[in-house]
A and B are shown apart, each in its own frame.
Chain A
Amino acid sequence: MKNDVIIIGAGVTGSAIARYLARYDIKVLVLERNEDVCTGTSKANSGICHAGFDAKEGSLKAKLNVQGNKMMEALSKELDFPFVNNGSLVLCEKEEDRPKLEELLNRGKANGVEGLSIIDRKELEALEPNITEHAVAALYAKTGGIVDPFMLTIALAENAADNGVTFKFNEEVKEIKKVDGGYAVVTNNGTYEATVVVNAAGVYADVIHNMVSNDKMHIVERKGEYFLLDKSAGSYVKSTIFALPTAYGKGILVSPTTHGNLIVGPTASDIEEKDNTETTAEGLQEIRNMVDKRVVNCPLNQVITSFTGLRAHADRGDFIIEEVKDAPNFIDVAGIESPGLTSAPAIGVMVSDMVRDILKAAENKSFNPKRVGILHPFTMSDEERDKLIKEKPSYSSIVCRCEMITEGEIIDALTRTLPAHSLDGVKRRVRAGMGRCQAGFCSPRVMELICKYTGCAMEDVTKFGGESKQILGKIKESI
């Protein structure tokens, strides 16, 4: 029953820590309040692999960002998730702001970012023909990239699970008690004990921290609204386009995604609500107003969805990764806002080293760092696909026609390690419903497959677990 480590939260941070902890011969349990991995901040962000010139010199953000960025490409091959090194640009929109660009360049160099340069209007135009006419120069970061945040998180978690880490879902932590030799974590379902507890609870990290410490923490939810555009708009820019940063972060960016969509956002407003992911008319209007300052005539008529993400902003302004002073063996990994996604692998290494030292853990000799992702037949040649279909006919049947997702892929998502249980779970794993019709066509068929492979009734199928039911009964029941 007793675990060596309990990780609270199965977002990208918790999953990365779990994955790197799997390298040691210890018993690791991940507790997640929602029904799946990647359901909080990790699922709603820009999907950027930042180069690392933003954060202040000497900060954890700076260090882990640059490390994470350097790890990402190799990790994407090891764990089979989409990553593209598309480069990023910070636009200087006023002549008088040039010194700020220089400042950013110097900070980046101090942070250890390679391949930074300032380019003039001419080079910028050659790189990005749709760039705003106001841009006079830009900082070009060759190492900037984009990553699929869902697949990064899922891949880390799956690889952790494949190497023996246990994940428990729908476990909401209610209380944490200090017990002999560690902690007892009480959830809505039971009590779990461990020597070390890692708090990777995202916007809830303050609530979890405050359960064990008198030195109270405060996390502010910094809300960011986004537009996602159709793939037909995906090549509108090649690089990720930022403005010069302000107090509220990096401002509204325009970027392709790893799947060829275009993402525009985020806004930034501080709220004090942990789960308020609603979009607002004002927020969406702000994006429309701001996007023109980055690119010319952004095709916003091709928006396929809008969404809101919450960044977990700590008062300290930097990542908080440390053992809690009045709670030995309790490690906070809090305030993981941007560049948290990029930093996740480096955070995983850092925290797993801390835990190893506490537990004096031995290596896990059978650790397998490789994970094979879900096969997407449309990345294959016609000949390969033909052969595949003849072996496995379920790969011939298209369920999601926007993203060309086959039944075989959905079955894989529903039956592999850490399987999907809901429509959103399937969507994050294989992109069925992520396309331009936004699940209009495929959802009845995905629902049928969920019933078939999880053994539930249509009335039990949810969008994202809990009470998010898709169907409210059979016809004629209440005439």
Chain B
Amino acid sequence: MDERVIVCIGCPKGCEIHVKYEGHEVIEMTGNTCKRGEDYVRNEITYPLRMVTSIVPVEGGEFATVPVKTKSDIPKEKIFDVMRELTHVRVKAPVNMGDVVLKDAAGTGIDIIATRSVK
């Protein structure tokens, strides 16, 4: 059996969650104050996930860049693969918040979307 203390990143509270687990199976969990924490810990011991945010260049817009994010969490181990793929991404104005700027980033199945509108 393994034992870990995991700080939940689900909200600013940052609960310290104590978890005992065997392989991928949770045996005991204490310290979480909500369901998000429970889900987070389950992921951390099996398949850690993270959101990635960055910016990409915009051509012909009011600003030179537009901020972007993964539409949902991606595997933590893929963070730098996604960043490397973003190196080649350029978009043309206008861009709307929520527009997809890169489909299926680094084979994660997750799209990268704009988080700001640029006229």
Contact = CB atoms under 8 A, between A and B. Distances in A.
Interface of A: 475-476, 479
- Secondary structure class of chain B's binding surface, majority of residues: helix
A475 B55 contact: yes
Contacts of A479: 80, 83-84, 87
Nearest to B89: A476
A475 B68 CA distance: 14
A476 B54 CA distance: 10
Nearest to B86: A476
Contacts of B54: 476
B55 to A, nearest CB: 7
Interface residues of B, number: 7
Contacts of B55: 475
B78 to A, nearest CB: 13
Nearest to A475: B55
A479 B81 CA distance: 9
A388 to B, nearest CB: 27
Nearest to B81: A479
Contacts of A476: 54, 83, 86-87
A458 to B, nearest CB: 11
Interface in B35-75: 54-55
Given A476-B86, A476-B87, 6 more contacts: A475-B55, A476-B54, A476-B83, A479-B80, A479-B84, A479-B87
A476 B57 CA distance: 11
Nearest to A474: B57
Contacts of B86: 476
A475 to B, nearest CB: 7
B85 to A, nearest CB: 10
7 contacts: A476-B54, A476-B86, A476-B87, A479-B80, A479-B83, A479-B84, A479-B87
User: 9 closest pairs, A vs B, by CB?
Assistant: A476-B87, A479-B83, A479-B84, A479-B80, A479-B87, A476-B86, A476-B83, A475-B55, A476-B54
A476 B68 CA distance: 14
A448 to B, nearest CB: 11
Interface string B75-108: 0000010011011000000000000000000000
Nearest to A476: B87
Contacts of B83: 476, 479
A476 B82 CA distance: 11
B40 to A, nearest CB: 27
A39 to B, nearest CB: 33
A155 to B, nearest CB: 37
A292 to B, nearest CB: 43
A445 B80 CA distance: 31
A475 B86 CA distance: 11
A390 B48 CA distance: 58
A66 B68 CA distance: 65
A367 to B, nearest CB: 48
Nearest to B65: A475
Nearest to B55: A475
A475 B87 CA distance: 9
A251 to B, nearest CB: 52
B106 to A, nearest CB: 12
Contacts of B87: 476, 479
A479 B88 CA distance: 12
B65 to A, nearest CB: 9
Nearest to B88: A476
A475 B55 CA distance: 9
Contacts of A475: 55
Contacts of B80: 479
B62 to A, nearest CB: 15
B87 to A, nearest CB: 5
Nearest to B84: A479
Nearest to A477: B87
B70 to A, nearest CB: 16
A479 B86 CA distance: 11
